[in-house]
Amino acid sequence: MGSGSAPDIRLDGLAKSFTDNEVLRSVSLNIPAGQSTVLIGPSASGKSVLLKCLVGLMQVDSGSMRYGDLELSGMSTDEWSDFQGRIGMLFQQNALFDSLRIWENIAFRLINHEGVSRSEARDRAVKRMASVGLGEEMADLYPVELSGGMQKRVGVARAMVGNPELLILDDPTAGLDPILTNTILSLIERETSGKGTTVLVVTGDMKAARSRFDNVAMLFDGEIKWSGKRDDVPEADNLYLDQMINSRATGPIKMRLAARG
Ligand SMILES: Nc1ncnc2c1ncn2[C@@H]1O[C@H](COP(=O)(O)OP(=O)(O)O)[C@@H](O)[C@H]1O
Ligand SMILES: [Mg+2]
């Protein structure tokens, strides 16, 4: 305790439905502490829902989510607030605060959870901005004044500021060009590997999924169909994983096209 390094995450039998849409049926997965894990799966398979359940933005219907000794699914509001101070998260839609300047968005955790002064927080935010390729001249702009790709980078910088023990990134490189994609993925790796940080990333970039993270987990049909070390992926002998990670048009995952009448 107190070292700031993260414990393992153990998900067991998680279920989450929206009326008659059973999104997560029984999700069980171990996410090892201090390592990076990428979650892949077709669109609408529930990747974002799973991340939102994990950080307490959505409530699961049943199942268990353990963060070390902490049972996340039954926490009080105070416990959630404490837990959320330990994690950094990027949402798929960035979810920046429209009324705050770029630097204030990035420095939000520092000011509101760590009691850092505004001037120090601004300095640290500007350093973070540089690391994702955003110049200081953007610090005082508002999110609406930035392109989608720039907003995404602000979201990554905001999630990583203060070096949280658990970093959860929903599609951190969506909409970025290949050079920026590599820059951002390298930054995440450099700032987290060997530092005890647990990283959980969702991506649709299968090249990144095959090469960038320690572990891979594949979500489909409400379950984790495969999980394991990246090095074991090529030999995995799992048709779902094989189709997804190699972006094959044919296999057990059928595209849900509109009814053909
Ligand atoms: N707040 C919500 N209310 C109702 N349905 C939702 C909600 N959020 C997500 N869903 C549904 O859950 C399914 C999984 O969505 P999502 O987790 O966003 O998929 P993805 O794997 O692409 O991230 C989709 O069918 C989506 O329509
Ligand atoms: Mg999503």
Which of 38-47, 178-187, 226-235 is predicted least confidently? 178-187
Which of 61-65, 91-95, 243-247 is predicted least confidently? 91-95
Domains and CATH numbers, the chain: 9-245 (3.40.50.300)
pLDDT average, residue stretch 207-221: 96
* pLDDT given for residue 255 in this prediction: 72
- DSSP one-letter code for 159: H
pLDDT average, residue stretch 187-200: 91
pLDDT average, residue stretch 18-36: 97
Which of 16, 23, 224 is the best mutation target for the ligand 1 pocket, counting ligand atoms within 8 Å of the beta carbon and taking the most? 23
Find the 17 Cα to ligand 1 centroid distance in Å: 9
**Residue keyed to tokens 């290949």:** 178
pLDDT surpassing 50 at residue 246:
yes
Neighbours of 15 (CB within 10 A): 16
pLDDT average, residue stretch 240-253: 93
CA dihedral 17, 22, 28, 30 (to 10 degrees): -70
Name the residue with higher pLDDT: 86 or 167. 167
* pLDDT given for residue 2 in this prediction: 37
Find the 20 Cα to ligand 1 centroid distance in Å: 12
pLDDT average, residue stretch 21-29: 98
Ligand nearest to the CA of 52: 1
Quickly state the pLDDT bin for 3 (edges 50, 70, 90): very low
Name the residue with higher pLDDT: 131 or 215. 215
Q: For ligand 2, a single-atom ion, which residues have Cβ within 5 Å?
A: 47-48, 92
Q: Alpha carbon of 171 to those of 70, 79, 91, 162, 167: distances in Å?
A: 27, 27, 8, 20, 12
pLDDT tens across 67-92, in order?
Answer: 998 999 888 888 888 888 889 999 88
Q: Which atom of ligand 1 is nearest to the CA of 202?
A: 23
CB 123 within 8 A of CB 136: no
Q: Alpha carbon of 83 to those of 36, 54, 177, 227: distances in Å?
A: 19, 11, 33, 25
Q: Which residues contact 117 (CB under 8 A, 6 or more apart)?
A: none
Helix 178-192 vs helix 148-160: angle between axes, to the nearest 10 degrees? 0
Cα Rg for the chain, rounded, in angstroms?
19
Quickly state the pLDDT bin for 149 (edges 50, 70, 90): confident
Find the 16 Cα to ligand 1 centroid distance in Å: 10
